[in-house]
Structure 1
């Protein structure tokens, strides 16, 4: 069990990251819903029974959920937010457009994957019984711990195999999401969850900031910066987001790169300036022009992983509307695994083995 000093450091980091969240926080909340509350799904027309609360986010609460319907006999969770809040409606729309099981299963089969780190859509609904209790809800698969928590428990350092595994799974999920016309815009450890029973699997969740980057008739929406608008979570958000431009594919890949760097070295160079948005943005722009300096500052002058530098260099070269070469990016991580005598087999991950920092 970690001692008090480490707990204090963890709380300080959590406070800093909370301060770094850039999306607006709605003030309305849904009062706690009693155990046993029945919710009626709009898509399945099934009844969902709430269990205990299993998590809270910036906008709402997550409960364990159960259905008496035979076809829904697994473990589920329900996210509840006020109808007046925007993010859950955005997330529901993304699920409806992207995450039906047949679409995900077809992608898994056609791309020869074991699974896809994209949650499947289950159901959604809303309650408008009284002015004081109006909320919408999303029924999801139930997942396990988030990667941010597991990262802390591993001593704030993941080893090569874990970093590469996470990179590969999230790249697969992003290619699928991007192919469907959406960008995620808020990739981070707390939005990546392990499977509930299969802890060697991970899933990219929370599509409350997801954005349709393509027009319905095709073509990428243009780069239109708005200096007064910024979104995401400050330590990881992209340079485009700092400029107030709409989310894009390259933005998602840049955000993922910052996550990979933090998981590899423990902290990002701008962490000390997390309450100064302009300073963080300035540092990110400087490092884009000098990726080697980014690596040196992340790893404090020690030997740094060249595969992560190559990844960041590839992302920094992307234009706003360019289709990323996902397979080329994945090959960087496959090669790193091979060079270290490892393989992408989902074993020996830091949160399963209990160790941190191999390799």
Structure 2
């Protein structure tokens, strides 16, 4: 059994300001996509993607690897003749309000596209430092803000242009459509190349964490 280390909440709380570098964010984004792609390929939707459900490895070899955990809200997709079937609207909110998709606020059945939207919110929060609805605790108000930011694209206004392309692609997906994970990863790699970032380079906190094990 793999030994796991701190969650991403623990990691970000070690840093001031409470956000990550572009290099860290891009590396996390690719690994997050790979985790979701693996879960989705097995026919499941996570439905609660958030920082606290990503942890890093607890060894020198795995301290740069992100692991997605907590499958308490995970649900199997209904597939018939190789096609995903969307169940009727279930009427219940699923997930964590800050990172929940707009479909979750509408109490619709959550699919692979919703996992991707939650991951997108996490990535934005890690890079910017906080989401616009951080201090709002009313679900309806958070829903309204998410709708406003989606329509205005303000969430990605000061970010590399590929973030807007990723947002547009994710919001174009429906429940049934299989996401093109490689397309999103390619956009992330474009950001890395344009900013001279080596995605194979160690994360900034790896040496700090590994130093405690020596």
Shift, 1:219, TM fit: 2.3
Q: Could you list the runs of 5+ residues in structure 1 that have no partner in the other structure?
A: 1-75, 77-140, 297-302, 355-359
Q: Is the 8 A contact 2:110 2:175 kept in 1?
A: no
* Structure showing the higher strand proportion among its residues: 1
Please name the residue that 2:31 is paired with. Answer: 169
User: Alpha carbons of 1:325 and 1:309: their partners in 2 closer, same or farther (altered >3 Å)?
Assistant: same
TM-score (norm 2): 0.89
Taking the aligned partners of 2:181 and 2:85, their CA distance within structure 1 comes to 20
User: Alpha carbons of 1:231 and 1:157: their partners in 2 closer, same or farther (altered >3 Å)?
Assistant: same
CA-to-aligned-CA distance 1:90-114 (integer Å, 9 cap, x gap)? xxxxxxxxxxxxxxxxxxxxxxxxx
2:73 corresponds, among 198, 209, 228, to: 209
Q: Find the structure with the greater CA-based Rg.
A: 1
1:183 corresponds, among 21, 33, 45, to: 45
Counting only pairs closer than 5 Å after superposition, residues 58-137 of structure 1 correspond to structure 2 as 76=1
Shift, 1:152, TM fit: 1.7
Please name the residue that 1:254 is paired with. Answer: 117
Secondary structure of the structure 2 residue equivalent to 1:272: coil
> CA RMSD of the aligned region, Å?
1.7
Greater relative CO (CA pairs within 8 A, separation 6+): 2
Please name the residue that 2:170 is paired with. Answer: 315
Taking the aligned partners of 2:86 and 2:80, their CA distance within structure 1 comes to 14
2:22 corresponds, among 160, 177, 183, to: 160
Q: Could you list the runs of 5+ residues in structure 2 that have no partner in the other structure?
A: 209-214
Q: Is the 8 A contact 1:200 1:346 kept in 2?
A: no
Structure 1 segments of 4+ aligned residues over 6 angstroms from their partners: none
Taking the aligned partners of 1:224 and 1:276, their CA distance within structure 2 comes to 26
